[in-house]
A and B are shown apart, each in its own frame.
Chain A
Amino acid sequence: MAKRVSASNVTAYYGGFKAIENINLTVEPKTVTALIGPSGCGKSTFLRSINRMHEVLPGARVEGSLTIDDQDIYDRDVDVTAVRRTIGMVFQRPNPFPTMSIFENVVAGLKLNGVRKKSILEDAAEKALRAANLWGEVKDRLGKPGAGLSGGQQQRLCIARTIAVEPQVVLMDEPCSALDPISTLAIEDLMFQLKDKFTIIIVTHNMQQAARVSDRTAFFSIEKTGDPGRLIEYDNTQKIFSNPSVKKTEDYITGRFG
């Protein structure tokens, strides 16, 4: 249920602007990898290129190769919707479908895959909501609108929606930046549980969070505004936060820069 993600020489553009250049990194299955770095350094762009969401924006494109278990997701014959089903994504702001109930939100991905049978959908919804630690809070009001939940609950609902389709990899783009500390803690706990089944890659601005939840950390940075983002250092989280090999990483994590 989890796959290895490998990027080699990934370069991404927004129109004429080169946002990231020559990113090389491999993420092992069933681990949590944190992408950190100052604003505008391309960590979100890199994350979005892993499930081909980057190209949704007009003029955006990706060069280089990205593989999951040796299959190139940018291969011409690969169905982009299949890529996104295999590599799920949780966004910065909770974005449940406002017109759908909690239940409908969780099973939205399954319905897109053609699952119609009520009993299957119900089982899958319960399983996903339990995995997202939300079942106890919502089991009596599955028919209520998903947008009526609190921010932290909405984000867990979005995580449930993402894992309901049983992806191999889960990408999280600053999933806690719009949440209070208690909801943040709930989601960090959840990441610990989820990494038994999924490969997780998370972008975060919160370095304590990166240190708490991740096994490996990748530090991205830019020389100056307008330059493409580059991968500066990628290592075990413990090493990055205690004894980084690059001076720039040390400056960043100690707060001297960025």
Chain B
Amino acid sequence: MGETPHRSADAGTGGTRVTQSHEWPAGASARVAEAPVSTRSPGGTGLGGGGALPRSRKFGAERAFRGLTLAAGTAVLVIIAAIAIFLVAKAVPALRANTENFWSYEGWSPNETEPKFGIGALAFGTVLSSALALLIAVPVALGIALYLSHYAPRRLGTALGFLVDLLAAVPSVVFGLWGRDVFSSPVRDFSVWLNHHFGWIPLFGGDGPFGASVMLGALVLAIMVLPIITSLSREVFLQTPTANEEAALALGATRWEMLRTAVLPYGRPGIIAAMMLGLGRALGETIALALTLGITFGISFNLIQNGGNTIAANIANAFGEANETGRGALIASGLVLFAITLIVNITARAIIYRRREFTESAA
């Protein structure tokens, strides 16, 4: 802080010296030499800085803010490291106590005296239901987003966009209850119909009962991730430069061709990011799936029979009655979920990075 007061003094003397040496003959008195300085910038502290440049400050708001942001950035790393250490420390004893193979055993009974639990079926169910949800949600979401951004009249677009955002604000437990009590019966009827007509496809085979199935869970999930993907893609589509849209139209593109030529390629990284956010929510979704899935511990591609389970839903269902080993086992499953999410994110980054040459120059 000691440097600051010198600023004006330095500037003043510097100014005088410069004037003396360059503009006035050696014989001129100091008093005359000082006169032009004081008329140009009284006190030598004008914003333009008459005279010598002041020294940079050692301390000040700039440095303080830099320190604050650095601390905030570091905090992220510290928190992640702390969580990782805690999870590993809790999970390892349970994994040691496991009497079956953690990766391949299909079942979850870690509270017995001889704990048996395996992550395979849960991880499979997590990925299957999320992938299915994304498969259903993405085309619908992109359709809505394109309609809102490029087809709908502006007022209607704003109103519908607001409704979509509202859908994102509904708590997941509400979706879960709605899925279990209301949506399950049409899904059951549809499943029976699928089974009757397309039962020869393994996906739709089985003898029932139907309803509380992967399909119900995935459909509820799809509705839940729909608003995220929709509103993000809409924002991205709206950012397409008008110049590019006009370029496509001027080449004789129809509106759909214009969307395909200018809007969709421009929005590609944004669409991928939106999908990954949606997938992230689907992978981690807990209570809605705990309420809608049939909760079984087998690996099956059958979509319509009662069954299915996910890592997060299993944690919600089993945590209440878990003992020490049981909790450790659930934490281990949480680590696997974390790993899955990480892989998904890295893959998405890689896809975006591969086209960076084109997306960076776009900005």
Contact = CB atoms under 8 A, between A and B. Distances in A.
Given A85-B252, A109-B251, A99 B243 contact: no
Interface residues of A, number: 32
B97 interface: no
Nearest to A89: B250
Interface in B339-363: 355, 357-359, 361-362
Contacts of A93: 243
Interface stretch (B53-61, B69-77, B181-189, B261-269): B261-269
Contact of A98 (B154, B252, B253, B362): B362
The contact size tier of chain B is 20 to 34
Interface in A19-62: 51, 53, 56, 58
A101 B257 CA distance: 18
A53 B250 contact: yes
A112 B250 contact: no
B104 interface: no
Nearest to B269: A99
A82 B253 CA distance: 9
Nearest to B357: A145
A145 B359 CA distance: 9
Contacts of A14: none
B361 A98 contact: yes
Interface string B259-293: 00110011010000000000000000000000000
Given A82-B252, A84-B251, A97 B262 contact: yes
Given A108-B248, A147-B362, A158-B247, A100 B254 contact: no
B251 A161 contact: yes
A226 interface: no
A164 to B, nearest CB: 9
A91 B246 contact: yes
B244 interface: yes
A81 interface: yes
Interface string A153-193: 00000100110010000000000000000000000000000
Contact of B251 (A112, A144, A147): A112
B131 interface: no
Nearest to A99: B265
Contact of B244 (A51, A56, A82, A98): A98
A56 B246 contact: yes
A113 interface: yes
Interface string B207-222: 0000000000000000
B244 A84 contact: no
A9 to B, nearest CB: 25
A81 B256 CA distance: 12
Contacts of A101: 358
B154 A58 contact: yes
A88 interface: yes
A85 B249 CA distance: 9
A97 B244 contact: yes
A165 B246 contact: no
B49 interface: no
B42 interface: no
Nearest to B359: A99
B362 A84 contact: no
Contacts of B265: 97, 99-100
A162 B251 contact: yes
A148 B356 CA distance: 12
A99 B252 contact: no
A85 B248 CA distance: 11
B241 interface: yes
10 contacts: A84-B249, A91-B246, A95-B247, A99-B265, A99-B358, A99-B362, A108-B261, A112-B257, A145-B357, A158-B247
Interface of B: 154, 241, 243-244, 246-254, 257, 261-262, 265-266, 268, 355, 357-359, 361-362
Given A97-B247, A108-B248, 9 more contacts: A51-B250, A81-B253, A85-B252, A88-B251, A89-B250, A95-B246, A97-B248, A98-B244, A99-B355
Considering the complex of A and B, which 7 residue pairs feature the smallest CB-CB distances, nearest first?
A98-B362, A85-B252, A95-B243, A99-B265, A109-B251, A147-B361, A89-B250
